[in-house]
Structure 1
Amino acid sequence: MTEPRYDVIAIGNAVVDVIASCEEELIEELQLNRGGMTLIDEARADELYAAMPPAREVSGGSAANTLAGLSTLGLQCAFIGQVADDQLGKVFRHDMQATGIDFDTPARDGEPATGRVLIFVTPDGERTMNTFLGAGQYLPASALDEELIASGAILYLEGYLWDPEEPRRAMRRAIEVARNAGRKIAFTASESFVIERHGDDFRRMIEDGVIDILFVNEHELATLTGEDDFEAGVAQVKDKVPVLVATRSEKGAIAIAHGERAEVAAEPIEKVVDTTGAGDQFAAGFLSGYVKGEPLQSCLRRGAIAAAEVISHYGPRPETDLKALVGEKLGT
């Protein structure tokens, strides 16, 4: 097996986040799924955008956010995702490349537009996401650079993108390519509604040993296993994947790898501003230690530090030097 060129290659949604602070009343008025993520069409996206208070635009997408954190932490990364040939597509591509991430998937001509996520953040920092996937749901297998996929130590897949049929086929092919090259597969479940729709696929991949590293939060774990009790859910999955990482918001996180269990408390911060990207950056921190062969406890601590940084400000990507911050916190 050849040495990998990249530490992590991710396939995910290429979207731009539009983030605005709002009061609880607006969530109710617009009949939004508070604290959750809802898929919407372009007409609904236009309606919600018109109702938003002043907003800021930042490139997002779950797997893309994780790569942004990994790149800041000094890892070599590449992204595969679909944008349209429009202004938001150019913004997304610029932001990825400016972060040091290789992103060469050709833009798609015509409709629909580049995807966007309209995020309403209430005073308690909770984010309510409304996602128009746009061009991202048309990522075809033909757009995959198979040599690129084979050159990454870890192929990181975003559960959100499993929902549309075309990128689901592309990710299945990517898994084959990565497996044939002897690479590891990391999978983030993304959201409970995705598991409700495609849980049989995910459970089959787990049973078949396709997934090497599984990222879930406690709600996703419950949906995946049918167990409301966290420890019962962990028990059901822990022996079926080499590495299980389960986050629990303010209750911290656990990881189990090859029978070893480690836990970490949530990193203390002065104020939760915006929880958007918390899970994405936890995955970035964890993987930054994992690829270096660090102990499980250290990987978890890296994840907690990265998650705490991102929830202390608006937006799903780091705004400080994560590498320096992690080094300071860990004393390395």
Structure 2
Amino acid sequence: MAQNFDVLGIGNAIVDILIQVDDEFLKSKKLIKGSMQLVSEGDAATLYAELGKCIECSGGSAANTVAGLASMGARTSYIGKIHDDQLGKVFKHDINTIGTSFNTPPSFSGPGTAHCIVLVTPDAERTMCTYLGACVNLTETDIDESIVRSSKFSYLEGYLWDPEPAKAAFRKTIHIAHDEGNKVALSLSDPFCVNRHHGEFLKLVKDDIDILFANEDEIKMLYSTDNLQDAAQRAQHDCDIVAITCGARGCIVVNKDEISNIQGINVSNLIDTTGAGDLYAAGFLYGLSIDKPIGECGALGNLVASKIITHLGARPDINLKEFVEKAAY
């Protein structure tokens, strides 16, 4: 089938609610800095009521990635479940406006559109409390086979492994993509997500994933080791391509032939790391979509991530295509 899309993203369609807090606030709520935890609608409402002025913007890991890709000029599509409510309308408007095709039918009953309270501390680390809402209603019937078949890469976020119906959608996507000869990429999403589904994730990575994205905590959790190099070497045997983000140090890129360290980019005005991993994946996948070597893909991922962390929120605030071209990529 003709490849109408470079990347299809499938994930939790979420509206982010961002606010800057101090470490004491996290301690008072018994929240682990840098983590993502699932909360009930009531808990989310209680926490929201305690916060001051917030910034609301569309988010969701895979949605952030395809938004970044679209801003670089890639042809993108997205599948995720929203409710037919105000937050759902905001999400759809935002992702369509940036140039991504999004036509998943909304829910008309049940829980509202998902939202994530993102607590940003002075060190720019983000701690997330997520109410999944309508996301749990994503099922395999929402997976449009023609879109999967016409996408060069299908990019899945690990958070989808939490609700059982979404897990079935995940597996359907993998089957269709591989049947068409297309590639499947996975983001491990969060160390606690990896821990929750450790055995299943390890089997999934070994059997079904072509391109793996992780940060150093996630990859070490996956392979049950404290040694990053050991984790990278083990991942090398499981996937064709592995990209491991290492914060300010840059990233490690892995294929069957080599393991390479790509130096990070110094950022003096660090504001919010919320979208760093998502936009790193956008830069990396964009590089793959235009047939760049993986070392250049890693450098491009670093570049795009270095830009997103200079403002609040995980969506580009500039035209990334122009930004990348100015940087001579």
Q: Could you say which TM-score interval applies, normalised by the shorter chain?
A: over 0.9
Contact 2:35 2:192 in 1 (8 A): no
Match of 2:144 in 1: 145
Aligned counterparts of 1:207 and 1:171: Cα–Cα separation in 2: 15
**TM-score, with normalisation over the residues of structure 2?**
0.98
Match of 1:246 in 2: 244
Counterpart mapping for 1:214-233 below 5 A: 214-233=212-231
Matched, 1:158 2:162: no
Match of 1:317 in 2: 315
1:310 alignment partner AA: I
Greater shift, 112-121 or 231-240, is seen at: 231-240
Aligned counterparts of 1:68 and 1:255: Cα–Cα separation in 2: 23
1:316 alignment partner AA: A
TM-superposed deviation, 1:183: 0.7
Match of 1:299 in 2: 297
Matched, 1:262 2:260: yes
TM-superposed deviation, 1:133: 0.7
> Secondary structure of 2:237's match?
coil
> Secondary structure of 2:197's match?
helix
TM-superposed deviation, 1:13: 0.4
Matched, 1:178 2:177: yes
TM-superposed deviation, 1:199: 1.8
Contact 2:153 2:182 in 1 (8 A): yes
Match of 1:283 in 2: 281
Aligned counterparts of 1:206 and 1:310: Cα–Cα separation in 2: 28
TM-superposed deviation, 1:172: 0.6
Contact 1:70 1:285 in 2 (8 A): yes
Match of 1:68 in 2: 67
Listed as ranges, the gaps of 5+ residues in structure 1 are: none
Matched, 1:25 2:24: yes
Contact 1:22 1:53 in 2 (8 A): no
Greater shift, 256-265 or 217-226, is seen at: 256-265
Q: Over aligned residues, Cα RMSD in angstroms?
A: 1.1
TM-superposed deviation, 1:227: 0.9
Aligned counterparts of 2:206 and 2:265: Cα–Cα separation in 1: 33
TM-superposed deviation, 1:32: 1.8
Match of 1:115 in 2: 114
Greater shift, 100-109 or 120-129, is seen at: 120-129
Contact 1:21 1:53 in 2 (8 A): no
Match of 1:13 in 2: 12
Greater shift, 54-63 or 123-132, is seen at: 123-132
Contact 1:222 1:230 in 2 (8 A): yes
Contact 1:239 1:259 in 2 (8 A): no
**TM-score, with normalisation over the residues of structure 1?**
0.97
Greater shift, 198-207 or 220-229, is seen at: 198-207
Match of 2:99 in 1: 100
TM-superposed deviation, 1:24: 2.1
TM-superposed deviation, 1:262: 2.8
Listed as ranges, the gaps of 5+ residues in structure 2 are: none
Contact 1:105 1:143 in 2 (8 A): yes
TM-superposed deviation, 1:324: 1.5
2:225 alignment partner AA: E
Contact 1:21 1:121 in 2 (8 A): yes
TM-superposed deviation, 1:114: 0.3
Matched, 1:87 2:98: no
Q: Percent identity?
A: 39
Contact 2:248 2:266 in 1 (8 A): no
TM-superposed deviation, 1:31: 2.1
Aligned counterparts of 1:287 and 1:203: Cα–Cα separation in 2: 22
